[in-house]
Each structure stands twice: as C-alpha cells, then as structure tokens.
Amino acid sequence: MSSPLFTRGGFALPGTTSQFKTGTWRVQQPIHRHRNAPCHNVCPAGEDPQAYIAEFDAGHIRAAWETLVSINPLPAITGRVCPHPCESGCNRGDYDAPVAIHSIERFLGDQAIAEGWPYPVGKPAADAQAVAVVGAGPAGLSCAYHLLRQGHQVTLYTALGEAGGTLRVIPGYRLPDSVIDAEVERLLQTGIDFRPGQRLGRDIHLDELRGEYAAVFLAVGTQDPRDWSVGGVTPRDLHVGLNVLKEWMAVGSVPQAESVAVVGGGNTAVDLSRILKRAGIPDVHIITHNGLPGPDSLPGDVMRAVPREIEQAVEEGVQIHAHRGIRRLLLRGEQVVGVEMVHMKKLPDASGQLKRTAFEGTETLLHVDQVIPAIGQTIDPAGLEAILNGSAYLKVDEWRRVEGHAGLFAGGDGCSRGGGTVTSAVGDGREAAEAIAATLRGEGLPGKTVSEAIAFDALNPHYFEPLPRNEQHILPVEERIAEVETEQTLDPAQAKAEARRCLSCGNCMSCDNCWTLCPDSAVLRLQDKGATEAPYRFDYDYCKGCGLCAYECPCGFITMKEEL
C-alpha cells in the first residue's frame, strides 16, 4: 500500500484495516495444548479413551478400534471384565454421569471380531532380535503383541494347551470362551510364534531361554492357592476357590452341598459364589473382611471384586457377610458344619496404617456344609527358584525389569507391581515391551512422568447438555444361566450416542467455538477440517490476546501463555 494521499477535502486512498497488525497489542497468546484426559491417566493398560472415543464419534469406527488396540490388544475382553477406573475418573461424572467407557471399548472389540479386522502390526524383519515371552495370559499376550509392534520376533510359551491363561478361569456368563478365542486367535495370527504345552522348569528352562533370546519376559501369573486355615485347622475335604472354578470351566461340576461359605472378597470369590448359585446350590454365602463398595468406603477396606459383579451376585441371591472374619470352624469330626464369624473392621492404627480389628461380643454362627477359601494365589516357583530366592513374587522396577537380572522382565500377577486385574496385566506387558525394545536398541529408558490430567473446572460445561448414560442390557435374574452373558453389548446406536457424551477433555472436538467467538477474526479454520485434530490456527498478526477463546473452549484445549 502506497502512503495515503492527503489533499484538501480529506481524500485518502482506500485501505483496509488488515494492514494494521493488532497482534502487537498482545501480552498473552492463546495456544493449543493437548492435556491428558483423566480416563487416560488412570487406565492401568494405558489406554487413551478420549482419543478412540473421538475417532468413533467422528464416525471412524475402524480407526477408533485401531487407536484402541495400539495400546490394548484385548478390548473385547477388558471391556467385559475390567473394573473400569476410567469411569471413576471421568470428568463427566461431575456433570451428570460418567461416560460408559467400558461399554464403548467392548463394542469396538466386538465390532472388530464381527468384521474380522486384522491387528495393525507388520511382520518382523527376518534378522530382528528375538524375545521370549513365558505365559500366554493377558500380560504375555500384550507383551508379545507390543514387541511385534516394536519390530521384534517373538516366541510365546505357555504351559497350557491354549492361550489365555487366567482369562480361561473367568466364568462364561462374564467372559464367554468364544470372545477369548476370537480375540486371542486373531492376535496370535499377527506373527507371534506360539508354543503351547511348554511348562517352565519341565519343558523349557530359564537359563536356556536367556541364552537363546535377547530378552525374556515372564508373565507366569499365580497358580498356587494361598495356604488357608483357621487357627491351624483346615477341613478334610477342602476345596480351593480357583480349583473349583477351573473344574467348573472344564467339566461343569461343583462340590455337592446344600450351603456353602466362600471366603474372600475378590473376583474369584464372587465368580465362584455365582457359579455355585448357577449350579443349583441354594444357600451361598460370601464372608469377607472388607466392606461392600459404597460412597463412604475407605479405599483399603472395600471388596476387591468389580462393584457391578457384586451387585449382580446379590441380585442372584448370594448372601454377602461384609466386615466379617472367621474366628473358628465348627467341625463334626473333620467335617465342617459351620463357621463362627466375628465383626471386623479395618481401622487406622497409631501410624495411620489400616489394621484389621475384631470386636468381641459380636460372634455369630453360620451353618454351612462347605467352606471354600478364595483368598488368592501365589506364584508357582517351578523353574524360577533361582530368581525368586524364596520370595513369593518377582521383584520388578517401574519398567518391569527383574531386579538384578539383566535382560529379564516380568509383569502381570506374580510380580511385585502386579495390579491384580486383566487390564493392569495388559499394561505391564506393554510397558515391558517398550522397555525391552529400548534396551535392545541400546537406549536409556525414559523417565515415567505423566502430565497431570485436566480437571473438570478447566472445561466449560455451558456447552454441553445432560445426556442419559447408555447402559448395557442386563439379563433379569431368572434368565441368567451359566453359558449366557449377563450383560449384552451396546447396539450401534447406543454406542454412538454414548461416544457423543464424551466431553473431549483436553483435546479439540472441532466445535468451531473459538472460530465463531473471536471478536477479531484471529482464529482461522483449515479447509480440510478433521474432526479429531484441531483444524484451527491462531492468526497472531491480529490476535489481541483477550483470552475469550480459551475461556470459552468447552474442552480446555486452549491455554493462555504469557508473552512479555
């Protein structure tokens, strides 16, 4: 623009204000900043539900599934059995009700099974370094898959005849075998060298594996029932929870009894009690030191089973005696005829540690024909004696390296950081695979810093509407039988509606709010407008830095940065 011509009469060449850069006024600038959604930060597997729900909401179902399985290769399985801490963390819980993330995860997993989508992973190079994975449960499968994604050759050993490990002792009404088969078989087709029937300490030996492979990942799980007795007494015909479950899964029979007390508060105890109910035992009790899950429960004093499973067990007639301990077994000869229970609670002691306390004068008797402990298992030491050194678990560091043994990694149940769930086992496998790959490349391991999750306060709730949560259909009690899943997968319309409920915490949802509300037209929209990546650019030549876009961003994706 040439300089304006000033003549008598105030004549000026026309010019536009665009030649005046109001951006020079600015003392703070808006920037796009991705922040972690709380669901992402709390997921034991490391999933980023916000990311795949966004893909799904944008109509890209397969891309959503691929984003999901880039972290967790078993979504149809974890979508069914995970206690979903993601939903407890979900910011939408502060608005109306959390997004049913587990239902969406399950829907995507089932969709992939129905469509036969192959896992997004290529075949490893012929000269790629080989890694052995021992154990084909969720941790082993996850590690093998992620090693493959990192370009390694993987051999996966299991002592059992098929892959699945602990997944195979979850009853069919929760996790049907067909789902395990569908997911695991497709996973094994990715190029994993799968060798069933290879027991550690019998068919394969750790020393040999360590000689043969560049690294070894141990995902052996826990197989030995914990010792159980009451004051040194154990019933003669003692059945142990996990074994009863295994027997039921294999041959469909349970110990004969009129009334049974299951001891324990974890998933095994709850699964077992529901199986016993389904097998026709009229009177099934659960006795647990811990409390029922509720809003007031202390984190260390609540049953470890998934809350909705506990709820369904109660619906099915299982009687739960919470906050009770067994003081004494009532025996006739060596045959159990009942138990003496006492009220118990975990109370903080002087140092603030929760400690079990029994209350005198609260003893009650419960007449039962069978007592089945389901108080957990420990690692089977066969083949691992040298590493375990008498310990009940494998000691690992934050990258799942077995302490003091280079090239040896471990995860899942049976190691010191085991989270006790399928999902945490999947996370262990993935993190170990990352550590193995980095180690084999000769790189150092990155620090484990997780950026803080975005809080509900950082969102702008004005721009959202309350929407009812889409719940999975639950069979009425009278229709619940062993082979049929109690909860049904969402139908596509429900799943889509549920994905729409996501608040997209910390990530752009291309809603056009910033573009619409900027008084200075300093937010520009890109033409090829993606739905999951921010299709906007700030025009800093004109942006005055008022901060309106940041305040009004529904997702907390825009932050103001000081610029002086």
Give yes or no for residue 17 binding another protein (CB under 8 A).
yes
Give the distance from CA 548 to its chain's centroid: 37
- Parallel/antiparallel/unpaired status of strands 224-225 and 364-366: unpaired
Per CB under 8 A, which region of 254-262, 349-357, 472-480, 503-511 contacts another protein?
A: 503-511
Q: Which of 2, 7, 16, 351 binds another protein (CB under 8 A)?
A: 16
Q: Which of 51, 54, 276, 371 binds another protein (CB under 8 A)?
A: 54
By C-beta, is 12 or 250 nearer to another protein? Answer: 12
Would you say how long the chain is, in residues? 564
Nearest distance, CB of residue 554 and another protein, angstroms: 6
By C-beta, is 217 or 557 nearer to another protein? Answer: 557
CA distance 47 to 73: 10
Q: Yes or no: say if 201 and 381 are a contact pair by the CB < 8 Å rule.
A: no
By C-beta, is 56 or 409 nearer to another protein? Answer: 56
Q: Which of 181, 224, 340, 539 binds another protein (CB under 8 A)?
A: 539
Give yes or no for residue 526 binding another protein (CB under 8 A).
yes
Q: Which of 18, 211, 368, 470 binds another protein (CB under 8 A)?
A: 18
Nearest one of 244, 261, 257, 256 to 330, comparing CA atoms: 261
Give yes or no for residue 340 binding another protein (CB under 8 A).
no
Total site size for another protein, rule CB under 8 A: 57
Helices 138-149 and 177-188, packing angle to 10 deg: 30
Nearest one of 162, 202, 139 to 394, comparing CA atoms: 139
Give yes or no for residue 362 binding another protein (CB under 8 A).
no
Give yes or no for residue 522 binding another protein (CB under 8 A).
yes
Nearest distance, CB of residue 471 and another protein, angstroms: 20
By C-beta, is 33 or 226 nearer to another protein? Answer: 33
Give yes or no for residue 457 binding another protein (CB under 8 A).
no
Give yes or no for residue 529 binding another protein (CB under 8 A).
yes
Each as own residue / partner, the long-range contacts of residues 91-96 (CB below 8 Å, 24 or more positions apart, any chain) are 91/37, 91/38, 91/454, 91/455, 91/456, 91/459, 91/503, 91/505, 92/501, 92/502, 92/503, 94/456, 95/456, 95/461, 95/464, 95/466, 95/503, 96/466, 96/467, 96/468, 96/469
Give yes or no for residue 503 binding another protein (CB under 8 A).
no
Nearest distance, CB of residue 547 and another protein, angstroms: 3
CA distance 510 to 526: 11
Q: Which of 510, 534, 556, 557 binds another protein (CB under 8 A)?
A: 510
Question: To which H or E segment does residue 330 belong?
Answer: strand 324-332
By C-beta, is 286 or 553 nearer to another protein? Answer: 553
Classify residue 411 as exposed, middle or buried by CB count within 10 Å of its CB (0-12, 13-18, 19+). buried
Q: Which of 12, 298, 347, 484 binds another protein (CB under 8 A)?
A: 12
Sequence letter at residue 407: G
Nearest one of 196, 118, 127, 129 to 156, comparing CA atoms: 196
Nearest distance, CB of residue 548 and another protein, angstroms: 5
- DSSP label of 446: P
Residue ranges in contact with another protein by CB under 8 A: 4, 10, 12-22, 25, 54, 57-58, 462-466, 500, 504, 509-513, 515-522, 524-527, 529, 531, 537, 539, 541-542, 544-548, 550-552, 554, 560
